[in-house]
Amino acid sequence: MDVSEREYFLRSGNYGFRSYDHDRDERRVCELCWNNALPGGRPFPLVPKSGAVSFGRIVTGPFAEYAREYFYVADDLGTGKLVGYFTGAEGGPVKTGDGKVPWILWRDRMAEQIAEREFGEISFRLYIPGYAYLEGAKFLYTLSLGPRAIQFLLHAKYNNAEEMPKAPDCPEYHFHVAKGHRGEGIGSKFIEHFLTRLSASKYDKVCAQVTVCKAQKTLDYYLGMTYKGKRIWTVYDKRETRMYTDAEKKEWHLGPVVENVSLIAKKDRLLAFVRHQP
């Protein structure tokens, strides 16, 4: 990957941080998202690698569309490999042709539109061969992902509103760092850069949506984060997701419950916390 040194807004250790370049970075970001986003990990994906880019577009596409100024990536300076990405948004209402729409609602609607663009109209009509609405190639591509992937996509379509937690109108972010590069301050640098770019007077809190379960980071992990004896995160809303079967939970050691959680932090306290991370 050809990256000019001038493109990095920050260098830290072996890593360079720069703004997301859609043409150059989209595939790498989507593949990293696919690798990290679902509890259970690989080699037992709910969406196989052939659908990695499409899956990543659903997750990151709304941010790339609406708030690309808060979309960053991290490169390993030794290898040039993209090893992390960060997406964020200010969280205020989005202007549309129909008026202003709350950010969370707009984000979810956009994700569904991207899913339909990638996979066709995700509904039980997928099971009707030759259904006129679906383009032939797209229909075959979706079927090639396998029955469990189709079940997952259907579940996400019909249960997203019920299983995704509510969030306040405030800045929101999510990020992923590749295995082998975690614990080296990449996430902290991402968050610090994002928070320092937000208006100091306009925003006093920030939101992060996470998935918690026994096999990965638990809710206690987030609630245990403190700065000078004060808790960083509090729970705004949480919802159990049933996209995993009992067999998958057992196979992947997820535990009996997998939850999607909206966490809220005071912006200044979170900023102080990440600045003091090694």
> Per residue in 99-144, pLDDT tens?
999 998 899 999 989 998 888 776 545 445 544 444 557 777 888 8
- Angle, CA of 21, 22 and 27, to the nearest 5°: 110
pLDDT of residue 194: 97
Q: Measured in whole angstroms, how far is the alpha carbon of residue 77 from the centre of its chain?
A: 24
Alpha-carbon span 122 to 54, nearest angstrom: 13
Tell me the C-alpha distance between 107 and 209, whole Å: 13
Given this model, what pLDDT does residue 161 score? Answer: 87
Q: Tell me the residue type at 273.
A: F
Q: How do 226-227 and 15-19 pair as beta strands?
A: unpaired
Q: What is the pLDDT, as a whole number, of residue 1?
A: 56
* Residue 18 burial (CB count, 10 A): 20
State the pLDDT at residue 136. Answer: 59
Q: Average pLDDT of each block of 10 consecutive residues along the chain (278 residues)?
A: 79 96 96 88 79 94 94 96 97 88 91 88 53 59 86 88 91 95 96 91 90 92 96 97 92 93 96 91
Q: What is the dihedral of CA 118, 120, 126, 132, to 10 degrees?
A: -150
> Would you state the structure tokens that stand for residue 195, as one six-digit string?
């928070």
Structural tokens at position 276: 């003091």
Predicted TM-score (pTM) of the model is 0.90
Q: Is the CATH number 3.40.630.30 carried by domain 5-275?
A: yes
**Residue 72 per-residue DSSP state:** E
Which amino acid belongs to residue 137? A
Residue among 83, 64, 77 nearest 7 (CA): 77
C-alpha span between 74 and 273 (Å, rounded): 20
Dist CA 190 CA 24 (whole Å): 19
Domains of the chain, by residue range, sit at: 5-275
